[in-house]
Amino acid sequence: MNLQPLLEPGWVTAILPELLLAGGAMFLILFDAFVPRAKGLLAPIALIFFLASAWSQNLFTQAPAIFFGGTYEISPITRLFDLTFLLAGMLALLFARDYLDRERIEDGGFYALLMWGTVGMMMMSKGLDLLIVILGLEILSICIFVLVGFHRRIAVSNEASLKYFLMGAFATGFILYGTALFYGATGSTNFAAMGRWFASNPSTPLLTVAFVLMMAGFGFKLALAPFHPWAPDVYQGAPTPVAGWLSVAPKAATLIALVRLFNAMAPVLPTVSWMSMVAALSILSMIVGNAVAIVQRDLKRMLAYSGIAHVGYMMIALLTVREDSVAAVAVYTITYALMNIGAFGVVSLLVKNENDPHTLDDIAGMGFRRKFYGFALALCMFSLSGLPPTAGFISKFFIFKTAIESGHTTVAFIGILTSIVSVYYYLRVVYYLYMKEPAAGQAVAAEGGVFALGALTVAVIGIMAIGVYPSPLFQAAGYAARVLLQ
């Protein structure tokens, strides 16, 4: 590899979003250390850096372009995913501000970790080389370990962090081992080079092993059944805004990396049965996620299982990597960010001992006592269950449409059947919100300041806007997918 072109002209503008976030995070830590009394300024400053990073996406116009010796791509799809990560990060940040303040654990480090984690995800979506993806994944994972355990005084938080750390270490091991085998078989870790190799060589058993290892590792990050058991425990223990972020953003980053991997392997996929394995994982996720969610009374655990099911839906689209399917996944992740972080956000507003589970009883009657929170949670539930006119419907419709057009009618059929099951437990939340009176003296207050209110408003408007007028988003996603697959 020639070192000369490593720093192509324009590379600063190209990675300005990452630089702004990473630099902003360091600034925040220093700021908190030197001005410890100005805690109230931390979240606004972090928000400004997030917004600046989103704005800087527009500075780079020549798309797509490749930097750092063919390892780093800036293109419409990475911009779309960057914006998803930033959206997820900002929503989590806003909910976290009020949550941390209430729990008295606000710290510049929290926001800094959120920002570095976002940088890690950006690397995963832009990396054209498996090693860059892994680098991003590790940056992200380390941030997650700390964020999950951020509520130090709470035992479940520490437990969750340890659980995620141990399991995550194994998962990374699988991915690294898989990468090594890919390198051994194809002679490269670069997606383009791997694609060229796959185009002219048949598959080997070694590659099957590599693929299985990769799917196990990525499956863990995606909380795809059967690699999901960590998710409910970790979400339950993690500070609630972190759980919301964790349930969305890392999954989005992993999915775009998977798209690149699947795309590189596209020439051999028709000759091997690897995708049947992925289809099995998808079906298993939809069934396990939706079936087990029914018996959950803890809202965070329920959302964890629902998240497992939703990853199953997203994987349906990836069974055949086409323009439409990539666009469908991009649209779905944005929708999922809005509705799932919104749902976790409302849960994060419940004032109670964080060691205790947040059960359905805690939201009883909330729809009439805290009207906007109740309405927002209900809307998120309708969206998660895929009912029109919410974004959840149109995104799910996109997924199933892609699946049928790719000929995966059976998987789509199972997806529909499990969706019917899912309606039951999502509606149960609405039942508690509007039709159940809180038990005497058991009413849990939901309190949030202007930050949480703002985040919730963004989520509500986003869910409705995408649901009612999805066309611009489809166009952007469709264009991005077309450029990616060229």
Partner 1 sequence: MPLLSLILWLPIAAALVLAFFPRSAETAMKGWGLFWSAATFVVSLGLLSGWDNSQAGFQFVESMNWIPQWGITYGLGVDGITLWLVLLTTFLVPLIFLAGWNSLKKHPKEYIIAFLVMETAMIGAFLATDLLLFYVFFELMLLPMYLVIGVWGGANRIYAAIKFFLFTITGSLLMLLGIIYLAFQNYHQTGLPTFAIADLYGTQLTPTAATLLFFAFALAFAIKVPIFPLHTWLPDAHVEAPTGGSIILAAVMLKMGTYGFLRFVLPLFPDESVRWTGLMMTLSVIGILYGALVAWVQPDMKKLVAYSSVSHLGFCVLGIFAMNQTGIEGSILQMVNHGLSTGALFLLVGVIYERRHTRLLADYGGIARTMPVFAVFFVIAVLSSVGLPGLNGFVGEFLILAGTFKANPIAATFATSGVILAAIYLLWLVQKVFFGPITIEENKNIPDIAWNEIAAVVPMVVFMVWIGVHPNTFLVKMEPSVRHLVTTIERGAPDRTPMLAANRDARPTLVARESPAGPAAAGSGQAAAAVSTPGGAQ
Binding site for partner 1 (CB under 8 A): 368, 382, 387-389, 393-394, 397, 400-401, 404-405, 409, 412-413, 416, 419-420, 423-424, 427, 430-431, 434-435, 469-471, 474-475, 478
Q: Find the shortest distance in angstroms from Cβ 93 to partner 1.
A: 28
3 class by beta-carbon count within 10 Å (0-12 exposed, 13-18 middle, 19+ buried): exposed
Type of residue found at 307:
G
Name the token pair of 304.
């964890």
Type of residue found at 242:
V
Q: Find the shortest distance in angstroms from Cβ 448 to partner 1.
A: 20
Nearer to partner 1, 207 or 430 (CB): 430
CA–CA gap between residue 324 and residue 485 (Å, rounded): 11
The single-letter DSSP state of residue 127 is B
Q: Find the shortest distance in angstroms from Cβ 420 to partner 1.
A: 5
Q: Find the shortest distance in angstroms from Cβ 388 to partner 1.
A: 4
Given the structure tokens 């196990």, which residue do they identify? Answer: 216
Nearer to partner 1, 166 or 416 (CB): 416
Nearer to partner 1, 250 or 478 (CB): 478
Task: Determine contact, residues 264/321, Cβ cutoff 8 Å.
Answer: no
Task: Determine contact, residues 383/393, Cβ cutoff 8 Å.
Answer: yes
CA–CA gap between residue 126 and residue 120 (Å, rounded): 10
Q: Find the shortest distance in angstroms from Cβ 287 to partner 1.
A: 16
Q: Find the shortest distance in angstroms from Cβ 413 to partner 1.
A: 6
Given the structure tokens 């992925």, which residue do they identify? Answer: 278
Query: DSSP letter string over 422-448?
Result: HHHHHHHHHHHHHH-PPPTT-PPPB--
Nearer to partner 1, 55 or 368 (CB): 368
Nearer to partner 1, 170 or 413 (CB): 413
CA–CA gap between residue 302 and residue 304 (Å, rounded): 5
Type of residue found at 209:
V
Angle CA(43)–CA(47)–CA(48) in degrees, nearest 5? 120
Q: Find the shortest distance in angstroms from Cβ 372 to partner 1.
A: 10
Q: Find the shortest distance in angstroms from Cβ 259 to partner 1.
A: 19
403 class by beta-carbon count within 10 Å (0-12 exposed, 13-18 middle, 19+ buried): buried
Q: Find the shortest distance in angstroms from Cβ 2 to partner 1.
A: 42
Given the structure tokens 């959840």, which residue do they identify? Answer: 392
Q: Find the shortest distance in angstroms from Cβ 433 to partner 1.
A: 10
Q: Around Cβ 218, how many Cβ atoms within 10 Å?
A: 23
Nearer to partner 1, 56 or 390 (CB): 390
Q: Find the shortest distance in angstroms from Cβ 276 to partner 1.
A: 21
Q: Around Cβ 316, how many Cβ atoms within 10 Å?
A: 29
Nearer to partner 1, 55 or 413 (CB): 413
Nearer to partner 1, 116 or 393 (CB): 393
| Alpha helices (H) along 223-273 | 230-237, 240-246, 249-265
* Side-chain-facing half-sphere of 23: CA atoms under 13 Å: 10
CA–CA gap between residue 220 and residue 217 (Å, rounded): 5
Nearer to partner 1, 344 or 400 (CB): 400
Q: Which residues, including other chains, have CB under 8 Å from residue 410's CB and lie 6 or more apart?
A: none
Q: Find the shortest distance in angstroms from Cβ 78 to partner 1.
A: 21
Type of residue found at 381:
M
CA–CA gap between residue 163 and residue 318 (Å, rounded): 29
CA–CA gap between residue 473 and residue 478 (Å, rounded): 8
Nearer to partner 1, 102 or 369 (CB): 369
Nearer to partner 1, 116 or 382 (CB): 382
Nearer to partner 1, 303 or 394 (CB): 394
Is the preceding omega at residue 44 within 30 degrees of 0, hence cis? no
